[in-house]
Amino acid sequence: MYSQRKALLIGLTLLVAVSVVLISFAPRTVTEPDIVVELGEENHGAESAVGPQNPIPTVLIGHNGQVKDPALAVEQGETHPEVYSIGRTAWLNSIRNKAPGRRVEPSGSKVVLLTATDGRGHNREIKDLFKQVTENREDYCAYHGYTYQFLNISKYHVPGRPAVWSKVNAIQDALNMHPEAEWMWWLDTDAIIMSPQVDLGSYLLSATALKTRLAYDQQIKLPNGKNSGLQVSRALDTNQIDIIISQDYHGLNAGSMFFRRTDFTMSLLDMWLDPIYVERKFERLEQDALNHLIVHHPSIREHVGIVNQRAINAYPGGDMAAGWHTGDLVIHFAGCWVHHQCEQQWTHYWNKRRKRVEVPAEVGA
């Protein structure tokens, strides 16, 4: 009897073991899940380290890097219940490619708007910053048919390198992710698109439009803000311009800039990240490094279009050349943290921005 029980026990044990093995090797259908990313889960860089430590925003990121906002994201005071009751995705689909007028190339998916952050830094004192930024830029891109891309720069972390340098990696990555894109618009997180009706092709990116935006004869500044003795040349061929950027009081500002997909651009992005520039300890880091390359290399300068600041990078204050005016495309809150004005300034201009497009009749019905 004992031997029979022992044999039965051994048999059951073997049966369970075989079942476990079979289950382990059984074919499974795997659906790549969305990833909940806590922005700022890694704290890199000198600028990040001194930023306010507000609760870390959590967003839903699809496996391809696109922001997905499952919340209704209804803005207080301008709610459209009929639209938002069917969800954020339905709203974006309802306004997609609804911008009126003739399309001027580049248009649609040939333009990508890139936001990349680790959730750290001084602008975290702005309440609901990431939620508002996402809504503002998703709406704009959907309306014009552009592609909106978010990337978490934590994945580009290099030990000892300030986090702001990771924007260059993000631009490279986004260009590789979107082979159909001809132009990439980098826009810092602390910026609001104020005039969503503006079509980038007719406003800036076509060769004809760019001729009207270039700051001809403007002095090109050194990284310390002093004049370099060089000017924006009238001989520039707009068909050869691959980078569009503007200057502020201190020199070039990399908070809002455009990159055309060309061999030149990809080579420049590689050069920009060369350790000789990263480790040089420029005062304004990646901005001053790019400024240095443009000033000291004529073969680079001939591919760079410097436009008037308000065209792509207006500030909340300043003279006529820098300060935002009604109708300007975007406002950038660079340096608002110095006097702890970020929340106040952001709220003021968020309420002044031109509201999103009209609700399509077929959606509100």
* Structure tokens belonging to residue 177: 């992710």
Q: Topology of 35-364 in CATH?
A: Spore Coat Polysaccharide Biosynthesis Protein SpsA; Chain A (3.90.550)
> For residues 313 and 113, what is the distance between their CA atoms, to the nearest angstrom?
15
Measured CA to CA in angstroms, residue 15 lies from 4, 6, 20 at distances of: 16, 14, 9
Q: What is the pLDDT along the chain (365 residues), one digit of tens a residue?
A: 445 444 544 554 444 343 433 334 444 333 333 333 334 333 333 333 333 333 333 444 333 344 444 343 333 333 443 333 357 888 888 899 999 888 899 999 999 999 999 877 666 778 889 889 999 999 999 999 999 999 999 999 999 999 999 999 999 999 999 999 999 999 999 999 999 999 999 999 999 999 999 999 999 999 888 999 999 999 999 999 999 999 998 899 999 999 999 999 999 999 999 999 999 988 899 999 999 999 999 999 999 999 999 999 999 977 878 899 999 999 999 878 777 788 989 999 999 998 755 444 443 32
Residue 334 and residue 352 in contact, taking contact as beta carbons nearer than 8 Å: no
Strands 219-221 and 191-193: unpaired
C-beta pairs of 91-96 under 8 Å, 24+ apart in sequence: 91/363, 92/138, 92/139, 92/142, 93/142, 94/359, 94/360, 94/362, 94/363, 95/139, 95/142, 95/143, 95/356, 95/357, 95/360, 96/142, 96/143, 96/145
Predicted model pTM: 0.77
